[in-house]
Amino acid sequence: MKRALFCSVVLFSIVASAMAYGGIVGSKHDLVSDWNKGSLLMRQTLNNYLSPCVYCHTPHDAASNAGAPLWNRPVPVGPYTTYQSPTMNTTVSNPPDSASLVCLSCHDGTIAVDAVLKKPSSFIQSTYHYKMLPEANACGECHNGGPAHDARGTYLTTDLSNDHPVSMDYPTPVQDPDFVQPKPSDLLFFNGKVECPTCHDPHKTDYGNFLRKSNTGSALCLSCHIK
């Protein structure tokens, strides 16, 4: 009985790992796939670590202060300009909390996407690192597809003032009747706060833009907002 149970647990772990890995493969978070698609710009600016997981995770010597498991990247420090509004009945942390900083370690453009803490023993070295600088942003204004993708949608920069607030204490319906408590199966809170992974799952590609649920008819937005 114990042997059968052990085999079942092992099999479940393998299947779960394969499913998570499968969500990444071929997606925009699969940097190995992007490298191999023949993009000249990618090959010049991004190390190919031969595994899509390595760009974010490592089984050993992971970052100890990160908001994601076995994190393999530096954690950005900002400074950030956060969203502010006189109508908000809550506060926004600055810098954002760790659950959002792991996303911003790629998406604010201050750290190269192949800047990992622990590199694999073998990989394909590139000449440069893919990092958003003012001159790179200017290139991204024109290039979309081919050797260069449209970088404007990839990099939020450190100015988050025009983006949905993150690291924000979620108001209860009692505090603000314009909000409802979403189902845990729809959206996730982190220590009671809205973070980047509240709405986005970096391993999930079912609904586009790595959304946790479909936003058809503003369904995702209406999980929180009453409008």
Three-state SS at 92: strand
Q: What is the largest CA-CA distance in the chain?
A: 63
Long-range residue pairs from 31-36, CB within 8 A, at least 24 positions apart, any chain: 31/55, 31/113, 31/114, 35/124
Could you tell me the two tokens for 116?
């990992």
Dump pLDDT digits (tens) for 117-167. 999 998 888 766 555 555 555 555 555 555 555 556 678 889 999 999 999
pTM exceeds 0.95:
no
Among 88-92, 174-178, 187-191, the least confident range = 174-178
> What number of CA atoms fall less than 13 Å from residue 59's CA on the CB side?
1
* Cβ-based neighbours of 110, under 8 Å, separated by 6 or more: 76, 131, 132, 158
| Residue 217 DSSP one-character state | G
Instruction: Please give the full DSSP string across 111-150, using - where no structure is assigned.
Output: S-TT--SS--SS-B--SS-----HHHHHHHTT--BTTB--
Phi, psi of 145 (to 5 degrees): 95, 175
Dump pLDDT digits (tens) for 78-103. 899 999 998 888 889 999 999 999 99
- Let me know if 200 is exposed, middle or buried by CB neighbors in 10 A (0-12, 13-18, 19+): middle
Q: 166 or 182, which is more confident?
A: 166
